[in-house]
Amino acid sequence: MRNKKIYYLLFVPIFIFSLIFVSCNSPQTTTTGVETTATTLEETINNEPIAKIGFNEEELIKNKEVTFYSKSTDADNDILTYEWALPDETISTEETVKYVFKNFGEFEISLKVSDGKSESRDSIKVNIENIAPTFEIDYKNSDLIKNKEVLFKVVANDPENGNLIYEWLLPDGTTSNQDSFLYIFKEFGEYEISLTIEDEELLINEKFIVNINNKAPIASIYLSGNINCETGDTIHLSATDSLDPEGDELIFKWEFPDGSTSNKTEIDYTVTEVGIQSIKLEVSDGELNDSTNVGIDAKISEEYFKKSCQNVKYGELLRNPDECFFKPIHVKGKIVQFLNNTQFHFNITKGSYGFWDDRAWLVLNNPPEENIIEDDIVEVWGFGGGNEEYETVMGATKTIPLIFAEYVEIIQKAD
């Protein structure tokens, strides 16, 4: 009997507790008028975030800063927290981290993200590999001349900013460990130069060919004097400014307007031709040559012109007008008729007892300062102009020589 009481006492509390629990977790009903509303407590479900690491593969270079950033997402748009685990065992809680790999090899980066209720992880492995340096060999083709120093230089770029080691192998067997050097090619020909670059792990070798060919000399004329000159003037010409790139001895050849030549380095030339003309200089190193010209504009001088004029007689002028046309001539005569300030008739043959005969037509190209009048005796230097017709006082037509005077002097004035 006593045992039954104990069992009863234990059962009652358990029963009561069960009733209370069921009551609390059963749907509750409230009634307003006819309607009854049931409210159900729905359970809220959390979506886990998805961790994702982003980076630029081109930045994966030793000793260069690499940016790792979160590409993580959360469907609930919850605020996320971040925890990066980096290869040097440092931890970062930023959304973006920067890291410098100081060695080559494979490294692991991990990211843990949390929305406060759940978390997600992502990890990646990256390879930091040695990238070969790039370089250019710089020199001037214009400097590739025998017996002249040529500067060779390498412009290199190492992505890892490592210490580069250079070794040049030169045509004569010598070497250089500098990034630049000077070299002299003493003969014409084709030469090979080799460059090896080491960046502590990789070796890069490049060979290139240079050709040393004979360069043509450069002709140059120095003229001492005025390019606007007169016949009879002497001008000094020099070829000393001409040069040969290799320093070879040069051969000179001058060609002048009068057809003469000279092989001298310097020469004095007397101008004999009238007008614009060219003096040519050619220089040669025995294989290649070059030439240049200098122009002069020579006007005939009074002295030179007078010396070039030939004495002619009336019969020669009248009989051979074509041969005498534009031929420098010299005559004397007496003015017998004034036509105008620049044209006269004058007799050019002096006879007995001081009489002058044989009429010619005189045209003054450069009238003298002093006026010419009838009965003046003049000396003329000029050109034959062919024959000219005129009408005499008696109405007859007569042909006489025509003379164009460049210079006229009155040698005896009329009384």
Confidence (pTM): 0.54
| CA–CA gap between residue 15 and residue 387 (Å, rounded) | 165
CA pseudo-torsion sign 291, 295, 300, 304 = negative
Please give the sequence-ordered ranges of beta strands (E in DSSP) within 158-257, or none if there are none. 165-169, 175-176, 180-184, 189-198, 203-212, 222-224, 228-230, 234-238, 251-255
Note the pLDDT of residue 43: 52
- Cα first-last separation, the chain: 199
Say whether pLDDT at 81 is over 60: yes
**Under 8 Å CB-to-CB from 301, ≥6 apart: which residues?**
230, 231, 232, 233
Say whether pLDDT at 75 is over 90: yes
Q: What is the pLDDT of residues 111-158, one digit of tens each?
A: 999 999 999 999 999 999 988 888 999 999 888 999 999 999 999 988
| CA–CA gap between residue 13 and residue 150 (Å, rounded) | 110
Helix, strand, coil fractions of the chain, as percent rounded to 5: 10, 50, 40
Note the pLDDT of residue 44: 76
DSSP state of 269: E
CA pseudo-torsion sign 263, 264, 266, 270 = negative
Cα dihedral 300, 301, 304, 310, rounded to 10, equals 60
Residue for token digits 């012109």?
Answer: 305
**Under 8 Å CB-to-CB from 283, ≥6 apart: which residues?**
217, 218, 219, 239, 242, 244, 250, 251, 252, 253, 289, 290, 291
Average confidence (pLDDT) over 178-197: 94
Q: What is the pLDDT of residues 251-272, one digit of tens each?
A: 999 999 999 999 999 999 999 8
**Under 8 Å CB-to-CB from 259, ≥6 apart: which residues?**
none
Average confidence (pLDDT) over 364-377: 92
User: Could you give phi then psi for residue 402, rounded to 5 degrees?
Assistant: -110, 130
Residue for token digits 């003054």?
Answer: 364
Q: What is the pLDDT of residues 27-47, one digit of tens each?
A: 444 444 434 433 444 457 999
| CA–CA gap between residue 33 and residue 375 (Å, rounded) | 163
Say whether pLDDT at 69 is over 70: yes
| CA–CA gap between residue 104 and residue 353 (Å, rounded) | 126
DSSP state of 312: -
| Residue 167 near residue 195, CB atoms below 8 Å | yes
Comparing CA positions, the residue from 299, 332, 225 lying closest to residue 268 is 225
**Under 8 Å CB-to-CB from 108, ≥6 apart: which residues?**
87, 123, 124, 125
Note the pLDDT of residue 9: 41
Comparing CA positions, the residue from 85, 82, 92, 73 lying closest to residue 114 is 82
Say whether pLDDT at 5 is over 70: no
Note the pLDDT of residue 29: 40
Note the pLDDT of residue 4: 40
Domains and CATH numbers, the chain: 53-128 (2.60.40.10), 134-212 (2.60.40.10), 222-302 (2.60.40.10), 309-412 (2.40.50.200)
Type of residue numbered 61: I
DSSP state of 49: P
**Under 8 Å CB-to-CB from 307, ≥6 apart: which residues?**
none
User: In whole angstroms, how far apart are CA 98 and each of 80, 85, 158?
Assistant: 19, 12, 21
DSSP state of 325: B
| CA–CA gap between residue 344 and residue 234 (Å, rounded) | 37
Average confidence (pLDDT) over 170-197: 94
Say whether pLDDT at 26 is over 60: no
| Alpha helix stretches (DSSP H) within 37-90 | none
